[in-house]
Amino acid sequence: MSLLGIVNIVFMVLLLLLLVYMQKKHVTFSKRVFTALGLGIVFGLILQLIYGAESEIISESISWFNIVGNGYVKFLQMIVMPLVFISIVSAFTKMKLANNIGKISFLILAILVGTTALSALVGVGTTVAFDLEAIQIEAGDAETARGEALDQRYADIQDKTFPEQIVDLLPANPFLDFTGARPTSTIAVVIFAAFIGMAYLGVRRKDPENANLFAKMIDALYSVIMRVVTIILRLTPYGVLAIMTRVTATSDYGAIYKLGKFVVASYVALLIVFAIHLLLLTFAGLNPITYLKKAFPVLAFAFSSRSSAGTLPLNIKAQTNDLGVSEGIANFAGSFGLSIGQNGCAGVYPAMLAVMIAPTVGINPLDPSFILTVVVIVAISSFGVAGVGGGATFAAILVLSALDLPVALAGLLISVEPLIDMGRTALNVSGSMTAGVLTSRMTNELDKETYSSPTQSLGA
């Protein structure tokens, strides 16, 4: 361990201690997250300025920082499957979903897929407005290697039909899905939990005694799991600090500058879709500023971690404790949002790539029939996109292959992929939270008093 590496670690420890001090002084959770985000950006930039992104000292220091950053993400991932399962079964035992589960599921899916279709339109419009074409991007060794990898991945999935992709959502082995082994494992666990819940309702009619015993067991497990979630969420500011330091210290700013036009266009598109989320909340009679304030800590973590799955515990807790969404709806919206209708990864990104690549094969991207085809394919392909880093690549492969466009050209953006993925992930999470809030509003299950309250319980 070099002396400079030790110095960097000492500085990181001091910043972590500052966050501990802020917590002891009862500084609000959102302010601590925002402070951690800012400190991480500044510290990371300073490290890169002093040592350079590819220096051995940076690599050495980041490996230690990752104990905090990656460790926090692993804790969140650890609790995802137990949280999804126990929360949905608990919704049945508490009779929060039994009477209108079909309506709730339909509304959540309709909002997720509908906003993804709108996201595709926004992606098309933004790409045209910025005059982006794949031919404008130079391909280096990294881009070529990435293109070859995408071609190989396409070869692995090209024979799988849409009905087969739907079947992949089903839990053939729920115990395997509890390990998160498949991209669609979360949805499979949701379906398995729903079957357990419906079975409970049947047992309650025929054998109330055993049903009550089962309900008490589920309530006890739910209390313990939610306590674990609370403990983990208290670590959020520290995780954000370490993750943002790593991101800013190791980013290739030269590549970002070279592809700056695409980066700017991507974030313009993402912000427009986020504005659509706020407009939908406004049309539903809810204050969008309130949503923005309460969702910020969750979106900040999603932005820095690039993991919708890792953000799920924060997502659900914010919906229930701060936005007034019922537990059942929050869990359904959060869980479905991991693999269905991701506005950023499955909506904006594939549509932008399709419009950029179309001219290389002689297709007019402004042709109305082409645009309509893109939107429809994006909406359909948004089923089963993984809620972890790389989900956008999978979505892009599905869309480009369905449009008969060269998949390998998507590899041209590898150098700015992490930076764009941060914004995409935050938008994905916002989409699932918006779906939860809107569904609660439409089913008259939203606690308006909790939604309007200025206080925040997340991470308390």
**pLDDT per residue over 335-393, tens digit each?**
888 778 789 888 898 899 888 888 888 888 888 999 999 888 888 877 756 544 455 66
Q: What is the mean pLDDT of the chain?
A: 83
Cα–Cα nearest to 118, from 288, 419, 342, 304: 342
> By the 8 A CB rule, do 101 and 194 touch?
yes
Helix (H) or strand (E) segment spanning residue 283: helix 260-283
**pLDDT per residue over 81-97, tens digit each?**
888 888 788 878 876 55
- Is the pLDDT at 140 greater than 50, yes or no? no
> By the 8 A CB rule, do 261 and 130 touch?
yes
What's the CA gap between 121 and 342, in Å, rounded?
Answer: 14
In 10 A of CB 359, how many CB atoms? 13
When pLDDT is averaged across residues 146-159 and rounded to a whole number, the result is 52
- Is the pLDDT at 433 greater than 90, yes or no? yes
- Is the pLDDT at 414 greater than 60, yes or no? yes
* Complete DSSP assignment for 169-219: TS-SSHHHHTTT-STTHHHHHHHHHHHHHHHHHHHHHH-HHHHHHHHHHHH
What's the CA gap between 59 and 63, in Å, rounded?
Answer: 6
Which pLDDT value is given to residue 185?
Answer: 78
What ranges make up the beta strands (E) of 285-342? none
140-144, 163-167, 305-309: which range is least confident on average?
140-144
Spell out the domain ranges in the chain. Answer: 3-452
In 10 A of CB 315, how many CB atoms? 30
What's the CA gap between 296 and 302, in Å, rounded?
Answer: 10
At residue 24's C-alpha, the angle toward residues 19 and 29, to 5°, is 60
pTM: 0.78
| Domain at 3-452: CATH code | 1.10.3860.10
- Sorted by sequence, the CB contacts under 8 Å of residue 458 that are 6+ apart come out as 29, 30, 233, 294, 297, 298, 314, 317, 318, 321, 322
What's the CA gap between 228 and 166, in Å, rounded?
Answer: 33
